[in-house]
Amino acid sequence: MYLLFELCNTTLLLGLCTYSIIANIAANEMEIVLNYVVYVVNVLIFVFINCHMGQCLNDQSMILFTTLSEFEWFNLPLAFRKFSIICMLQAQNPLQMTAGHFYQFSLYSFTQILKTSMAYASMLRTIV
């Protein structure tokens, strides 16, 4: 649940800060623009790290499944065969890093976060 709250919060903050950057560029307030740019970059790095970790977890889970399915488990003793089958059954469902079992973190999700944030900034720019 914490990651879901953090995801919603950062998406809104990115949109608001981007709008503030645009508004302060028009007002020629370069010190404020620099502060907002540094903040936006830090928030983007934080979100990217979460999305990258989720992508790596998913990729490694799929690699494990591929490796187990190509492994010659049928030549092993019975105890190891049972263990291999259990591992293959568990590896069929890849591990995913989610936000509240609602949102899956991946690099695709990172682009969706950026799109949503820019849509918020565009909406604010149109309204205000």
pLDDT at 73: 79
Q: In tens digits, what is the pLDDT along the chain, a chain of 128 residues? A: 888 898 999 999 999 999 999 999 989 999 999 999 999 999 999 999 999 999 999 999 999 988 888 888 788 888 888 888 888 888 888 889 999 888 899 999 999 999 999 999 999 999 98
Secondary structure (3-state) at 60: helix
For 7, phi then psi, to 5°, come to: -65, -50
pLDDT at 12: 93
Nearest 10 degrees: CA dihedral of 118, 122, 124, 128? 150
pLDDT at 87: 87
Nearest 10 degrees: CA dihedral of 30, 35, 37, 38? 140
For 95, phi then psi, to 5°, come to: -75, 140
Does residue 107 contact residue 55 with C-beta atoms inside 8 Å? yes
